Structure formats: structure tokens, C-alpha cells
């Protein structure tokens, strides 16, 4: 009975998608639509590119709501099944669309210049981190919102976990005695796209106030730890 099922279709979407920390290869950020797909058949890679391009076109034309799996497939002249095979589900496609700026952010705080990157004291890096995420959010808000899938996958997504781990690391440096894992989740909660959307778009709060709120929050949580 074990030979009838062909070893599971093997979810190979996720190959090359939002990987966690694989950016020790080159000096800077990937230059956009370069060669970043390691092991993908020629036609598959081609179709993947066409799908992403089509999806991006749909986004800027009709907004995130216009990114329908069938529409993307049609626009890319590809079968619907192909879209799902490549990206798993709608959420996966949207996340792939966000992947580029995601990596840019990761590179910035992992290997970039201070105060975001290494070199500055942790509390200062924390402050810069939040501001960077907030600024990035105001651009891609719609996409980021649409990319939030089921509630239980929100926190399990690779990009979110990278950010959370980074915050946790900085917190451990700033306040070694605390439960930094939990505090990191709290800080990340402040940067939830849905919250940002709610506060800026529905409550009409100015982004500057959000940034100030982040600074204040970091200071409170780190309890006036030495910032330099």
C-alpha cells in the first residue's frame, strides 16, 4: 500500500521563495529579476517569470483585489494549475510578489550600514528597524494586507519569522535578562500591516505619530537600557 502513492507531490514551491537568511553569497542586494532560481526546469522558470510579471501588472492596474488566480494565469498565457503548482496558493503568489523588497529590507538590517545594520548599539538599531518597516509598509500596504492568509499562517511565514528573530536578537543584547522571544513578538505586533492600515487609513493617524510611538515603545520595553 505504500507504493501506490508516488512519494507525495513534494511541495517544491517554496524552492527559492522567501528563504530565511540565504544572502551571504554576494556583496549587495540581488539586482532584481536576476538568476535567483537554483533548480527549476527551463520552462518552469520561464512560466514563473511570466506569472510574476503578469501579477505585478494586474496589481498596478486593478489593485491587489484584481490578482485573481485565473486572471493571472490567463494574463500569463498559462494554465491555472501551473499557478498553483508554482506558488501553492494565492498567498504564496502574493508573497513572491513581495519577496524582492523583503530581501532588500533583510539585507539592510543584516549587512547594511548602521544604524540599521550592525555597528550601532542594539536599542538604536531597534529604533531604526521599526521605522524602516513602517516606511516600507506605507508603500506596499495593499499587497501586504492581501498577502496575509489564514490567521494561523501569519506568524509562521518565513519573512515574518526572520524579522522577529532579528528583533529578538537585538533585544537579547539590550536586555539580557528578559523573555526576549515574547517581547519580540510584541514589538512585531506593533508593525503588523493590518494594524498600520487600521491606524493610518481608518483612524487617520499620521505615519509620523506611528514612528514616534515605535520609538517610545522601544524605550519603554528596553527600560532605558544604554542606547550607546
Partner DNA sequence: TAAGAAAACTGGACCACGGTCCGTTTCGCT
Partner DNA sequence: AGCGAAACGGACCGTGGTCCAGTTTTCTTA
The footprint of its own copies (CB under 8 A) covers 145, 148, 151-152, 154-156, 178-179, 182-183, 185-186, 189-190, 192-195, 197-199, 201-202, 209-210, 212-213, 216-217, 220-221, 223
Q: What is the Cα–Cα distance from 103 to 107, expressed in whole angstroms? A: 6
Q: Are 132 and 108 in contact (CB under 8 A)?
A: yes
For position 104 contacting DNA by CB under 7 A, the verdict is no
Task: Tell me: does residue 119 bind DNA (CB under 7 A).
Answer: no
Nearest one of 190, 169, 177 to 223, comparing CA atoms = 177
- Gyration radius from the chain CA atoms: 19
Distance CA 158, CA 41 (A): 24
55 binding DNA? (CB under 7 A): no
Nearer to its own copies, 84 or 190 (CB): 190
Q: Which is nearer to its own copies, 27 or 177 (CB)?
A: 177
SS3 143: helix
- Find out whether 130 and 191 touch, Cβ atoms under 8 Å: yes
With CB under 7 A as the contact rule, the residue among 81, 113, 114, 119 that binds DNA is: 81
Which three-class secondary structure state does DSSP give residue 58? helix
Give whichever of 10 and 152 is closer to DNA, judged by the CB atom: 10
CB of 83 to DNA, least distance (A): 8
* 225 vs 56: CA distance, rounded Å: 44
Report if residue 154 touches DNA, rule: CB under 7 A. Answer: no
Quick one: what does residue 82 bind among DNA, its own copies, none, with the CB cut-off 5 to 8 Å set by partner type? DNA
Contact 125, 114 (CB under 8 A): yes
Residue 29's binding partner out of DNA, its own copies, none, with CB under 5 to 8 Å set by partner kind = none
Residue 12 found at the interface with DNA (CB under 7 A): yes
**Distance between CA 96 and CA 45 in Å, rounded?**
14
- In the complex, what is the shortest distance from the CB of residue 123 to its own copies, in angstroms, rounded to a whole number? 13
43 binds DNA (CB under 7 A): yes
Provide the residue count of the chain.
228
How many CB atoms neighbour CB 3 within 10 A?
A: 6
Q: Which is nearer to DNA, 81 or 119 (CB)?
A: 81
Binding site for DNA (CB under 7 A): 10, 12, 40-44, 46-47, 67-70, 77-82, 84-86, 89-91
Amino acid at each position: 500500500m505504500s507504493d501506490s502513492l508516488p512519494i507525495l507531490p513534494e511541495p517544491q514551491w517554496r524552492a527559492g521563495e522567501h528563504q530565511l537568511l540565504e544572502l551571504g553569497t554576494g556583496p549587495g542586494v540581488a539586482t532584481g529579476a536576476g538568476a535567483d532560481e537554483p533548480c527549476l526546469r527551463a520552462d518552469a522558470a520561464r512560466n514563473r517569470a511570466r506569472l510574476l510579471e503578469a501579477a505585478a501588472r494586474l496589481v498596478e492596474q486593478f489593485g491587489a483585489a484584481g490578482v485573481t488566480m485565473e486572471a493571472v494565469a490567463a494574463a500569463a498565457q498559462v494554465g491555472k494549475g501551473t499557478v498553483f503548482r508554482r506558488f501553492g496558493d494565492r498567498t504564496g503568489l502574493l508573497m513572491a510578489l513581495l519577496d524582492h523588497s523583503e530581501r532588500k529590507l533583510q539585507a539592510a538590517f543584516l549587512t547594511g550600514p548602521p544604524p540599521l545594520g550592525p555597528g550601532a548599539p542594539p536599542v538604536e538599531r531597534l529604533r531604526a528597524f521599526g521605522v524602516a518597516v513602517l516606511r516600507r509598509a506605507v508603500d506596499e500596504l495593499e499587497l501586504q494586507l492581501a498577502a496575509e492568509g489564514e490567521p494561523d499562517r501569519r506568524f509562521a511565514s518565513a519573512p515574518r519569522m526572520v524579522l522577529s528573530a532579528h528583533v529578538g536578537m537585538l533585544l537579547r543584547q539590550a536586555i539580557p535578562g528578559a523573555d526576549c522571544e515574547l517581547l519580540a513578538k510584541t514589538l512585531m505586533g506593533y508593525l503588523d500591516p493590518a494594524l498600520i492600515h487600521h491606524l493610518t487609513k481608518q483612524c487617520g493617524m499620521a505615519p509620523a505619530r506611528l514612528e514616534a510611538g515605535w520609538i517610545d515603545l522601544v524605550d519603554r520595553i528596553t527600560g532605558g537600557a544604554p542606547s550607546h
